[in-house]
Each structure stands twice: as C-alpha cells, then as structure tokens.
Amino acid sequence: MVSHSELRKLFCSADAVCFDVDSTVIREEGIDELAKFCGVEDAVSEMTRRAMGGAMPFKAALTERLALIQPSREQVQRLIAEHPPHLTPGIRELVSRLQERNVQVFLISGGFRSIVEHVASKLNIPSTNVFANRLKFYFNGEYAGFDEMQPTAESGGKGKVIKLLKEKFHFKKVVMIGDGATDMEACPPADVFIGFGGNVIRQQVKDNSEWYITDFVELLGELEE
C-alpha cells in the first residue's frame, strides 16, 4: 500500500494524466446517449450495466450494443449538435491547471472518437492526445461497424494505451483517473489510479481505490498547495 501523502506527491509530479471520458470528464455515458437518441435506450443501458460489471468481454458488449443502435453518421453528428455532452464541474479548471504545469493530458475512452474529440476541443486537448473507438460508416452514411483494431475496443485496452504512451514518450509517472473498473485495471501500467465518483459511484471501484474522490476540486487543491 502506498500512503496517501505518497500518492499525492506522485499526482503532483506526474508527467502525464489520463482521464476516462464517460461519467468522468463528462456527466453522461456516450453510448447510452446515442442509444436514447436512436430510440433503443432501455435495451442498451441494460447491456452497458452488464459490461461495466465485467459480466461480458468489452468488445462483445460493444459489438452487441452497436448492432442494436446502428447509428448513422448523420445521427452521431446530430447528437453532438443537439445534445452536446456536459462537462463535469471542475474538469475544465483541472485540465487547464495541469497544462499550465506542462503536464500532458490524454483522454482514453471506450466511447466514440467523434464525441470524445468534441469534448477534447472544449478542454484544449489536441486530438493526437485522444484514444477512443472509431465508428465506421458506408459511403451513404449508414453504420458499418467499428474499428476493431483500436486498443480501446478490447478489454484491458486502456492499460495498453498507457503502456504505449510510456514507451513512446518515456513518461516516468502516469496517473489514470476514472469511474469504472476498466480505468482501475489500467494501473499498472499507470503508476497511480484515482477513482472518480462525482457522476456515478461504482462500489467495486470505490472499495478498491487507494484514492477515491467525488469532486475535481480536491485535485485542484492538491496542485495549489
């Protein structure tokens, strides 16, 4: 066990901080919002619950949910335009403070790149620092599946991305922040995991996190000290 003061030191001296997106950086679960928009909300949110609880491999759950939703390119674009995701309070200030300290900030999501890039632009995070799943469309805009080669399409994908970032940029200390089991599993290779329960509390994550917060203000406070 690492003491809380050591965890705080690690966070304050991190080279890179990686955030999950759904229910962490934004208040919603992107896939559930897409399902609601496409009229298949109930069936899909039940599957999301099962996937979050680890009852089903991530890629299988993603394939099944997308097969139900069948989102077209136009529907995804309309969702972003008409129901843009809501940033979690405090995230804008936290990201901006980290960037002022020359910390690299990444978004690593099992959600969809088109939605996550929209979120990244609101936080001044370059799209090269976004790792998420890519939806594929036929030339007429109809749904054609997703890019199964993305590491984020797999169980354990967030850890693979962090390992890749460490190899590529030689980061010494990487922090992962998120609400879900897939975020917690990314540590290691992340050096510190901070569980976030500001939008939804997942008991398994709360019980097993060495550091658990419900408000980003707490992390901002650490950086100010």
Domains of the chain (ranges, CATH numbers): 2-27+85-136+144-221 (3.40.50.1000), 31-81 (1.10.150.210)
pLDDT in tens, 97-131: 899 888 899 999 988 998 999 999 999 999 999 99
Q: What is the pLDDT of residue 149?
A: 87
- pLDDT beyond 80 at 200: no
pLDDT in tens, 171-186: 988 989 999 888 888 8
Cβ-Cβ contacts under 8 Å for 73 (sequence gap 6 or more):
135, 137, 141, 142
Residue 134's Cα: distance from chain center in Å?
Answer: 14
Write out the two tokens for 224.
């100010």
Cα–Cα distance measured from residue 73 to residue 62, given in angstroms and rounded to the nearest whole number: 17
pLDDT level of residue 1 (50, 70, 90 thresholds): low
Cβ-Cβ contacts under 8 Å for 44 (sequence gap 6 or more):
31, 32, 35, 65, 68, 69
Mapped onto helix, strand or coil, the DSSP state of residue 101 is: coil
pLDDT in tens, 8-53: 777 778 899 999 998 899 998 888 888 988 888 888 877 776 666 6
Cβ-Cβ contacts under 8 Å for 224 (sequence gap 6 or more):
none
The single-letter DSSP state of residue 210 is S
Residues acting as catalytic residues: 20, 22
pLDDT level of residue 224 (50, 70, 90 thresholds): confident
Rounded percentage of the chain residues whose pLDDT exceeds 70: 95
